[in-house]
Structure 1
Amino acid sequence: MPWLYLIVAIAGEVIGTTALKASDGFTRAGPAVVVVIGYAIAFYFLALVLRTIPLGVTYAIWSGVGVAAVTLIGWLVYGQRLDGPAMLGIGLIVAGVVVLNVWSGATPD
């Protein structure tokens, strides 16, 4: 169940962050409400995850997957572009998450 909670936490964070861009500095009420709800969901489920999965591993996965997802959304929705070094850096973040999940003994089964 903690992995499902982590997926929900990541989704909440990605939705909240995407809405943060759309809120235009909290000047648009609809997206601003989505920001607050998205982050509330993210932190609630993140707290549940931390009962089982170690803090460092949880945060690495949560932030790494979130960075990759928000970057993809920024590219698809907002037309944001990345140069080679930026793509390399994000690729390394994703690679780190894969290493944690595939080879590390720090994550529970």
Structure 2
Amino acid sequence: MNPWVALWMAILSEVAGTLALKASEGFTRWGPSALVIVGYGLAFYFLSVSLRSIPVGVVYAIWSGAGLALVVVASWWLFGQRLDLPAFVGLVLILSGIVVLQCFSRAGDGA
């Protein structure tokens, strides 16, 4: 599996797990609680696959930054979380950093 695809699968799985964690209401709802376990399990599996080829610092920067940005946007859309201008500016900066790392940096070329 392509390590970059694995990384993005890890990010999406972690985001799904985190959103399900909110929906589980403290693990009192079984469906969302099961999604938490599956989401985080898949996230760590795909994260480990990506770490075979991409340096841990690059993987962690992209995983945490993209995960954070996606959770914030999804929380705004799904749960009505309020975002102000500084929050949007911060998200743009995080996403800009991810684009620079993934598209322009050679740091991710090898372990």
For normalisation by structure 1, the TM-score amounts to 0.94
**1:7 is aligned with what amino acid?**
W
Deviations 1:18-63 (A, max 9, x none): 1001001111111011001100000011011101000010011111
Q: Which runs of 4+ in 1 moved over 4 A?
A: none
Where 1:33 maps in the other structure, the secondary structure is: helix
Number of matched residues? 109
Letter in 1 for 2:47: L
Residue 70 (structure 2) pairs with residue 69 (structure 1)? yes
TM-score by length of 2: 0.92
Report the counterpart of residue 92 of structure 2 in structure 1. Answer: 91
1:85-105: CA deviation from partner (whole Å, max 9, x where unpaired): 222112111111111112211
Identity across the alignment (%): 55
Query: What does residue 47 of structure 1 align with?
Result: 48
Q: Is 1:107 matched with 2:104?
A: no
> RMSD of the alignment, in Å?
1.3
Deviation, 1:8, is: 1.1
The match for 2:15 is 14
Determine the structure 1 residue equivalent to 2:28.
27
Alpha-carbon distance in 2 for matches of 1:21, 1:47: 25
Gaps (5+ residues) in structure 2? none
Partner Cα separation in structure 2 for residue 7 and residue 15 of structure 1 = 12
